[in-house]
Amino acid sequence: MKIKLNKIFRKKKAMFLAYDQGIEHGPTDFNDKNVDPKYIINIAEKGKFTGLIFQKGIAEKYNSEIKKSKVPLIVKLNGKTNLVKGEPVSSAICSVEEAVGLGAVAVGYTIYIGSEFEEEMLSEAGEIIEEAHEKGLAVVVWIYPRGKSVKGKKKRDLMAYAARVGLEIGADIVKLHSTGVKKDVEWTVESAGKCKVVVAGGVKKNERELLKDIKEAVSVGCSGVAIGRNVWQASDPVLVSKKLRKVIWG
Amino acid sequence: MKIKLNKIFRKKKAMFLAYDQGIEHGPTDFNDKNVDPKYIINIAEKGKFTGLIFQKGIAEKYNSEIKKSKVPLIVKLNGKTNLVKGEPVSSAICSVEEAVGLGAVAVGYTIYIGSEFEEEMLSEAGEIIEEAHEKGLAVVVWIYPRGKSVKGKKKRDLMAYAARVGLEIGADIVKLHSTGVKKDVEWTVESAGKCKVVVAGGVKKNERELLKDIKEAVSVGCSGVAIGRNVWQASDPVLVSKKLRKVIWG
Amino acid sequence: MKIKLNKIFRKKKAMFLAYDQGIEHGPTDFNDKNVDPKYIINIAEKGKFTGLIFQKGIAEKYNSEIKKSKVPLIVKLNGKTNLVKGEPVSSAICSVEEAVGLGAVAVGYTIYIGSEFEEEMLSEAGEIIEEAHEKGLAVVVWIYPRGKSVKGKKKRDLMAYAARVGLEIGADIVKLHSTGVKKDVEWTVESAGKCKVVVAGGVKKNERELLKDIKEAVSVGCSGVAIGRNVWQASDPVLVSKKLRKVIWG
Amino acid sequence: MKIKLNKIFRKKKAMFLAYDQGIEHGPTDFNDKNVDPKYIINIAEKGKFTGLIFQKGIAEKYNSEIKKSKVPLIVKLNGKTNLVKGEPVSSAICSVEEAVGLGAVAVGYTIYIGSEFEEEMLSEAGEIIEEAHEKGLAVVVWIYPRGKSVKGKKKRDLMAYAARVGLEIGADIVKLHSTGVKKDVEWTVESAGKCKVVVAGGVKKNERELLKDIKEAVSVGCSGVAIGRNVWQASDPVLVSKKLRKVIWG
Amino acid sequence: MKIKLNKIFRKKKAMFLAYDQGIEHGPTDFNDKNVDPKYIINIAEKGKFTGLIFQKGIAEKYNSEIKKSKVPLIVKLNGKTNLVKGEPVSSAICSVEEAVGLGAVAVGYTIYIGSEFEEEMLSEAGEIIEEAHEKGLAVVVWIYPRGKSVKGKKKRDLMAYAARVGLEIGADIVKLHSTGVKKDVEWTVESAGKCKVVVAGGVKKNERELLKDIKEAVSVGCSGVAIGRNVWQASDPVLVSKKLRKVIWG
């Protein structure tokens, strides 16, 4: 079945609002406002994001608010807390079928390449991609090099490797952490081929620096961002969103 | 399918009688009276509990007594003994389908976040929630931070994290251990969003203190309690139940 | 489906002849006579046992002899050799469906609570009990506390815990090792509630002592025995069986 | 379904040509002649073997040659290389259904009792035996005590234990290594009951000794041999086969 | 079903262009040209390769280009990054069914014999071969001796062992690393019997040496090559391809 990327893209670019930090980091990332998914949905709508990333629980409990917002829903299928130490592993908590039932137009999955459990995640991602594609859903794969075996490796190589793994396993979009170096992003985008690349926002940083990084990334072929804390932790998230749209679509 | 929480709620509050200690702790928690499930069923009925929590074996062998009592049945799906040392893990012993056959209107499942086996439990909980929701059953998830990796972490953060994980994975109700500090419970309830929070009774404690804690918890949005030993180990369980109802429903 | 316990009970008591030692201990338990399953089937018939416990291989190869004897067949579903060291684990070798095909009216399964692999066995037992009950078969669960984590624990507590786990997971009958102390057995039977308790014979011991122990156990509510070596290693097994019937049914 | 042992037996005795050494030991066991499966098929035919043991790959690639020879085909379902160190484990590479499709009239499976992975193999063997018996195929189980836990155990006890495990789990034929002591083989055959015993040839040895051992084994109830290297490494395999037939059928 | 090897063979010889390095080694193997799958597809077409090896992601995203080229598609089903240390293991990321949907006429799978995880890969390969053969697809199995247990073993023996494992498990073609010694290749081809042998190109080496090695290999029965870096890293890949055709088909 033809994957309709345009459902989560606008003029070939993507701007996703990520909000899976509740399971990945816990509520320490939140304050009294942004702890509430409705606050996030509102930002996504006002900020004209092309996709909103939730775990299945939020997608279900706030389903009517999401539908009302008309922001396309991307359900993240796996997740883990940050309490567990050692080699990272994350298994599916939500099935593709359940995501479809929740109204998702795309699904997300994280793979920690380099982890001792890489094999498990690659294999599960393979099944998910097969099933999602059969149902016409796009798949966004978070690919993060992690674990003791990646210590000391060059960041540029790891970033390009992450992008390439996305292409090889059939991801439609790969989400990765950027080194922030233009040449690196360029090589990464080349490595990803026809698989789209979006960069993660990461920990909250200087706004100017963030926008400059994204602009540069987009200028060398990156399709956009999947950003969370830098938006919903901002004092004026809608304004930040506007600035983001400007650097992404010009 | 629409989850009918009102089956185990009364005027938006819940008071569950928990009796899974037989597998979790063994009969050392019991005396000649409360070792008998019929004694518990009688308390649940007289005490006007909104739900009664059993493992499948008790739910099956005492099914006619449970039905006669009219107390809604919540079947706990996983469990383990306290004999095993090391990182905790608990797998399903009962299927959702079997629970339905036993007359359950909701199911329960325990996840030890922070355990090396967190992934296994998150993943199994995900499947159970999907299936339970398809059948219209509510899911109560016990979320307890455990294992060597949570040592030294702040109790408040862990409690809020537990609540949030409940929301993220699609639990309808999350059962957790309270720190007993009002502000902490408030933040926890906020973190859980539309997922309801019930606090565990824990080891038997001073009745006055217990009631004060529950009253405070309810005042900041907590939906009620899932309580066991503090009730059925009491000299007058029906009286304790009455006091509980008072602090919960006012 | 209603479980018909009367198929392996007579006047509410049970006397099972256990013969799974071939896999659990090897032929060192046997001599030229009792190494032959036909010898055992003959004892079961003459001794008026209410159930005969075999692994699937014997149940199949000696099926016509078993049927001719009219002794109800209980197929033990899991097993392991005693060669493997470390934490004990035993997985199903025979399915419930296969046992039914062999003419079994009940099935057996062993769980080593306290073992690092407890979770695997509890979970598999859960599935087996569900399937067996759907087909109307009773389930006998051997529950033995084992592994390094149970070292030093009180035998009385462990025995009662084993019985309780049987009740909690839905066993119809729990088979356990008795401490031989009347009060302990009484508490154990109470802990098991509506789950029946049968005691294991264990290593061959003084006949008088054995009979006294069983009589006492039955007097405090125990449903009978699952006995092997004390019968088929005896010089006159039919006579021992007669004595057993006397202490069980009076 | 009735298992038709006569398909791989002749006058109640069996003489199997084993050729699974390619995966178990590698081509170091072979020379330019016997590296070729066609050479083996020819020996099986000329030597009037009652069964020919191949892994699925050879069974498929040389299927027309096997069919032409009319020697009954036994497909070995699991296997491993001898490169891996540590506790031995061997999983199914071929399904029962695939073996049937290849024309097998019986299937084979190896279990290393005493290995840390014993449980996995017992469990998989259980499923295979169930399925094979449903389809009317006989099952030959190789049972070899292995792993650090069997060090120092008496060889006689281990051999009898292997035979007994074969009976208990439902094997139709158990293949084991003989101690070469007549009394031991006798006890082993008794321990196996209605499960047939065939002895392995093992490493190539003195022909006279080999024939004497087999003759003795057969005289005490052993059903025959599953032999490989002693035949196809011989300078005149057809002559050796003739001598084998003589000691087996007299 | 009859396996149609002629779909990826020409006059009984094979010349496959391998391009699974993106996942196996990362983009460090690539430059600005060969990082692009279209560049590879073009070489495969111009170079008259008999098969083109891709992971499922590239097979899907570049499907129209592949189809246009008319080079037969071989989808590699498993893969791993080179970041993970320790005993190697690689699980299926793509199913046989999905490969068929992508237009594959053959599938590939890697097994690391000697690895602690050998069992997992042998078993998964077994299932894949069964399913692929049912659908009429040929299976190419990469067999590489790896892991701490193969240290110090003779390369010749390992190469022949790899080939033999391919035959035993039902591979149609085994891809292995050659020692480059004619006698070794000869023995390896004999060990593989009716299973075809293709040699890997390996790290880029002196062209003359490479061609000499391949010529020799083919002269002793090897069916051809599965080659990657030596072609697409060359300054004139089409010319190298022409030379390869010459040594393979003469």
Q: CA C231: distance to chain centroid? A: 14
Asked if C61 and D153 come within 8 Å (Cβ–Cβ), the reply is: no
Say whether pLDDT at B249 is over 80: yes
End-to-end CA distance of chain E: 32
Q: CA B219: distance to chain centroid? A: 19
Give the residue ranges of chain E where pLDDT is below 70: 1, 202-204
Q: Which of chain D's residues have a Cβ under 8 Å away from the Cβ of E168?
A: 20, 22-23, 55-58, 79
Q: Which residues of A are catalytic?
A: 144, 175
Task: Assess D207–C contact: CB distance below 8 Å, yes or no.
Answer: no
Instruction: Write down which chains contact chain A via at least 3 CB pairs under 8 A.
Output: B, E
Q: Give B107-133 pLDDT, tens digit per residue.
A: 999 999 999 999 999 999 999 999 999
Q: Which of chain E's residues have a Cβ under 8 Å away from the Cβ of A125?
A: 93
Interface test with D, best of C19, C23, C39, C83 (most D CBs within 10 A): C83
For B243, left (φ over 0), alpha (ψ -120 to 50), or beta?
Answer: alpha
Our CA-based measurement puts residue A115 at a distance from the nearest CA of chain B, in whole angstroms, of: 14
Q: Residue A129: which of A192, A191, A195 has the closest Cα?
A: A195
* Model pLDDT, residue B231: 96
Interface test with D, best of E158, E168, E174, E184 (most D CBs within 10 A): E168
Catalytic residue among E144, E194, E215, E242: E144
Our CA-based measurement puts residue C75 at a distance from the nearest CA of chain D, in whole angstroms, of: 11
Q: Which residue has the tokens 């606090």?
A: B199
Q: Which of chain C's residues have a Cβ under 8 Å away from the Cβ of B32?
A: 190
Interface test with A, best of E83, E123, E124 (most A CBs within 10 A): E83
Task: Assess A180–B contact: CB distance below 8 Å, yes or no.
Answer: no
Task: Assess E83–A contact: CB distance below 8 Å, yes or no.
Answer: yes
What CA–CA distance (Å, rounded) separates C178 from D99? 48
Whole-structure pTM over 0.90, yes or no?
A: yes
Q: Give D69-82 pLDDT, tens digit per residue.
A: 999 999 999 999 99
DSSP per residue over C68-105, as a string? HHTPPEEEE-B---S---SS----BSS-HHHHHHTT-S
Of C113, C125, C193, the CB nearest to B83: C113
> What is the ipTM for the molecules in this complex?
0.96
Task: Assess C247–B contact: CB distance below 8 Å, yes or no.
Answer: no
Angle (deg, nearest 10), helices A118-134 and A155-169: 40
* Model pLDDT, residue D203: 67
Q: Please give the share of chain D, as a percent, with pLDDT higher than 70.
A: 98
Task: Assess C165–B contact: CB distance below 8 Å, yes or no.
Answer: yes
Q: Give D19-70 pLDDT, tens digit per residue.
A: 999 999 999 999 999 999 999 999 999 999 999 999 999 999 999 999 999 9
Q: Which chain A residue has the Cα nearest residue E38?
A: A193
Say whether pLDDT at B204 is over 90: no
Of B20, B32, B81, the CB nearest to C118: B81
Asked if D80 and E123 come within 8 Å (Cβ–Cβ), the reply is: no
Own/partner pairs for C95-99, CB < 8 Å, 24+ apart? C95/D126, C95/D127, C95/D130, C96/C128, C96/C131, C96/C132, C96/C135, C96/C137, C97/C131, C98/C56, C98/D130, C99/C56, C99/C59, C99/C75, C99/C137
**Which pair of tokens denotes residue E78?**
């498993």
A residues 89-108 near B, CB within 8 Å?
A: 89-95, 98
Q: Are residues C128 and C109 in contact, defined by beta-carbon separation less than 8 angstroms?
A: yes
What CA–CA distance (Å, rounded) separates B134 from C250? 54
What CA–CA distance (Å, rounded) separates A18 from A226? 6
**Which pair of tokens denotes residue E202?**
């390996």
**Which pair of tokens denotes residue A195?**
């698989």
Q: Please give the share of chain A, as a percent, with pLDDT higher than 70.
A: 98
Asked if C35 and D191 come within 8 Å (Cβ–Cβ), the reply is: yes
Between the alpha carbon of residue C96 and those of residues B11, B50, C132, D127, the distances in Å are 45, 37, 6, 12
- Residue E114's φ and ψ, nearest 5 degrees, are 95, -20
Q: Which chain E residue has the Cα nearest residue D27?
A: E161
Mean pLDDT along residues B139-166 = 97
B215 annotated active-site? no
Mean pLDDT along residues A143-166 = 96
Q: Using CB atoms within 10 A of its CB, is residue D203 exposed (0-12), middle (13-18) or buried (19+)?
A: exposed
- Residue C202's φ and ψ, nearest 5 degrees, are 75, -165
Of C114, C127, C190, the CB nearest to B35: C190
Which residue type is seen at B99?
Answer: A
C residues 58-77 near D, CB within 8 Å?
A: 58, 60-62
* Model pLDDT, residue B203: 67
Q: Residue B14: which of B44, B50, B53 has the closest Cα?
A: B50
Which residues is E10 bridged to in the sheet? E13
**Which pair of tokens denotes residue E14?**
């094979």
**Which pair of tokens denotes residue A47?**
């900020």
What CA–CA distance (Å, rounded) separates E192 from C162? 55
**Which pair of tokens denotes residue E2?**
């009859």
The mean pLDDT of chain B is: 96
* Model pLDDT, residue A1: 61
| Torsion of the alpha carbons at D119, D125, D131 and D133, rounded to the nearest 10 | -130
Q: Which chain E residue has the Cα nearest residue A151?
A: E83
Q: Which of chain A's residues have a Cβ under 8 Å away from the Cβ of B133?
A: 60
Determine how β-strand E51-55 pairs with β-strand E14-18: parallel
Q: Residue B232: which of B77, B41, B50, B74 has the closest Cα?
A: B41
Q: Give B53-106 pLDDT, tens digit per residue.
A: 999 999 999 999 999 999 999 999 999 999 999 999 999 999 999 999 999 999
* Model pLDDT, residue B245: 98
Task: Assess A190–E contact: CB distance below 8 Å, yes or no.
Answer: yes
Q: Residue C103: which of C77, C138, C80, C72 has the closest Cα?
A: C72
Which residues is C13 bridged to in the sheet? C10
**Which pair of tokens denotes residue A155?**
């960041």
Residue E67: Cβ within 10 Å count: 13
Which of A219-228, B206-215, C133-142 is the least confident region?
B206-215
Asked if A93 and B161 come within 8 Å (Cβ–Cβ), the reply is: no
Q: Are residues E13 and E223 in contact, defined by beta-carbon separation less than 8 angstroms?
A: yes
* Model pLDDT, residue D204: 66
**Which pair of tokens denotes residue E191?**
């060990």
E19 annotated active-site? no
Q: Which chain C residue has the Cα nearest residue B25?
A: C161
- Residue B108's φ and ψ, nearest 5 degrees, are -120, 155
Q: Using CB atoms within 10 A of its CB, is residue B211 exposed (0-12), middle (13-18) or buried (19+)?
A: middle
Catalytic residue among E13, E56, E76, E175: E175
Q: Which chain E residue has the Cα nearest residue D96?
A: E130
Determine which helix (DSSP H) or strand (DSSP E) holds D107, and give its type and residue range.
strand D106-111
What CA–CA distance (Å, rounded) separates C78 from D120? 12
Instruction: Write down which chains contact chain D via at least 3 CB pairs under 8 A.
Output: C, E
Residue B95: Cβ within 10 Å count: 18
Residue C67: Cβ within 10 Å count: 13
Encode B92-138 in three state secondary structure: ECCCHHHHHHCCCCEEEEEECCCCCCHHHHHHHHHHHHHHHHHCCCE
CA angle E117, D158, D152 (to 5 degrees): 80
Our CA-based measurement puts residue D59 at a distance from the nearest CA of chain E, in whole angstroms, of: 9
Of E153, E168, E170, the CB nearest to D22: E168
**Which pair of tokens denotes residue E99?**
């490969």
Asked if B26 and C123 come within 8 Å (Cβ–Cβ), the reply is: no
Task: Assess D3–C contact: CB distance below 8 Å, yes or no.
Answer: no
Asked if A169 and E93 come within 8 Å (Cβ–Cβ), the reply is: yes
Q: Residue E109: CB partners within 8 Å, gap ≥ 6? A: E76, E77, E78, E92, E121, E124, E125, E128, E139, E140, E141, E142
Determine how β-strand C51-55 pairs with β-strand C14-18: parallel
Mean pLDDT along residues A82-97 = 97
- Residue A224's φ and ψ, nearest 5 degrees, are 145, -150
- List strand residue ranges (DSSP E) for C132-188, in order: 138-143, 173-176
3 state DSSP class of D227: strand
Q: Count D/E contacts: CB-CB distance under 8 Å.
A: 108
* Model pLDDT, residue C202: 67
**Which pair of tokens denotes residue A31?**
């304050």
Between the alpha carbon of residue A174 and those of residues A32, A96, A105, D124, the distances in Å are 31, 18, 16, 39
Give the residue ranges of chain C where pLDDT is below 50: none
Determine how β-strand D14-18 pairs with β-strand C173-176: unpaired
Our CA-based measurement puts residue C192 at a distance from the nearest CA of chain B, in whole angstroms, of: 9
Q: Which chain A residue has the Cα nearest residue E117?
A: A119
**Which pair of tokens denotes residue E59?**
């097979």
Q: Do at least 3 CB pairs under 8 Å connect B with D?
A: no
- Residue D140's φ and ψ, nearest 5 degrees, are -100, 125
Asked if A161 and E57 come within 8 Å (Cβ–Cβ), the reply is: no
Q: Is residue A202 very low, low, confident or very high in pLDDT (cuts 50, 70, 90)?
A: low
Our CA-based measurement puts residue C70 at a distance from the nearest CA of chain B, in whole angstroms, of: 29
Residue C152: Cβ within 10 Å count: 6
Q: Residue B176: which of B108, B247, B122, B120 has the closest Cα?
A: B108
Between the alpha carbon of residue C55 and those of residues C25, C78, D168, the distances in Å are 13, 8, 6
Q: Do at least 3 CB pairs under 8 Å connect C with E?
A: no
Q: Are residues C8 and C243 in contact, defined by beta-carbon separation less than 8 angstroms?
A: no
Q: Give C129-172 pLDDT, tens digit per residue.
A: 999 999 999 999 999 999 999 999 999 999 999 999 999 999 99
